[in-house]
Structure 1
Amino acid sequence: MERTQNKYNISVLLDMSKSAEFVLTSAIELAKRIDGAIEVFHVKPTTNIIKGDSQLSAVRTLNKDARSTRAELKELISTIEKKENLSISYKLEYGNVKNRVRDYLALQKPDILVLGKPRTRMGVFFESISDFVIDNVNDTNVLILGEDDKFHSFEDINLGIFGTGLEDSDLEIIQDLKCDSDKPVRYFGISDEEDKERTYPWQKTVSYTFSKGGNALNGLVNYVSRTNTQLLCVPKKGGKSFMFKSSPLKEVIRKTNVPLMILGK
Structure 2
Amino acid sequence: MKNKKYKILVLSDLIKSMDSTLKSTISLSNIINADIELFYVKKPTDIIKKENQLTAFRTINQEHVQTKRKLDNLVKSVYQNYGVNIKCTFAFGNIKNQIEAQINKLKPDIIVLGKRKPKAISFLGNNITNFVLSKHEGMVLIASGKNTFEPNDDLSLGILNPNEELVNLDFTETLIKHTKKPLKSFRIIKNSSNLKEVNQDSTLPKTVEYVFEENGHTLKNLSNYVSKNNINLLWLAGDDSAQNMSSSIKTSLKDIINNLDVSLLLTRGQKLKIQQNT
TM-score (norm 2): 0.81
SS at match of 2:209: strand
Runs of 4 or more, structure 1, over 6 Å off, are none
State whether residues 165 and 237 of structure 1, in contact with CA within 8 Å, keep that contact through their aligned partners in structure 2: no
Q: Which residue of 1 aligns with 2:72?
A: 74
Pairs within 5 Å for 1:97-136: 97-119=95-117, 121-123=119-121, 125-127=123-125, 128-136=127-135
Structure with a larger share of its residues in helix: 1
Q: Does the C-alpha gap of structure 1 residues 120 and 110 become closer, same or farther in structure 2, counting only changes over 3 Å?
A: same
State whether residues 160 and 185 of structure 2, in contact with CA within 8 Å, keep that contact through their aligned partners in structure 1: yes
SS at match of 2:31: helix
Q: Which residue of 1 aligns with 2:55?
A: 57
State whether residues 131 and 250 of structure 1, in contact with CA within 8 Å, keep that contact through their aligned partners in structure 2: no
State whether residues 162 and 201 of structure 2, in contact with CA within 8 Å, keep that contact through their aligned partners in structure 1: no
Count of equivalent residues: 258
Instruction: Look up the equivalent residue of 2:226 and give its one-letter code.
Output: V
- Deviation (angstroms), 1:155: 2.9
Pairs within 5 Å for 1:32-51: 32-50=30-48
- Deviation (angstroms), 1:185: 2.1
1:23-63 alpha-carbon deviations (Å, 9 max, x no partner): 22321222111111111111122123335422222121111
SS at match of 1:214: coil
Pairs within 5 Å for 1:154-165: 155-163=153-161
Deviates most, 73-82 or 156-165: 156-165
Q: Does the C-alpha gap of structure 1 residues 71 and 125 become closer, same or farther in structure 2, counting only changes over 3 Å?
A: closer
TM-score (norm 1): 0.85
Deviates most, 189-198 or 60-69: 189-198
Give me the whole-angstrom Cα distance separating, in 1, the residues matched to 2:15 and 2:79. Answer: 19
In structure 2, stretches of 5+ residues that fail to align are 270-278
State the identity %.
33
State whether residues 162 and 234 of structure 1, in contact with CA within 8 Å, keep that contact through their aligned partners in structure 2: yes
State whether residues 175 and 202 of structure 1, in contact with CA within 8 Å, keep that contact through their aligned partners in structure 2: no
Give me the whole-angstrom Cα distance separating, in 2, the residues matched to 1:91 and 1:216. Answer: 41
Alpha carbon RMSD of aligned pairs, Å? 2.7
SS at match of 2:205: coil
Q: Which residue of 2 aligns with 1:243?
A: 249
Give 2:27's match in structure 1, choosing from 26, 29, 50.
29
SS at match of 2:51: coil
In structure 1, stretches of 5+ residues that fail to align are none
Give me the whole-angstrom Cα distance separating, in 2, the residues matched to 1:80 and 1:151. Answer: 16
Q: Which residue of 2 aligns with 1:234?
A: 236
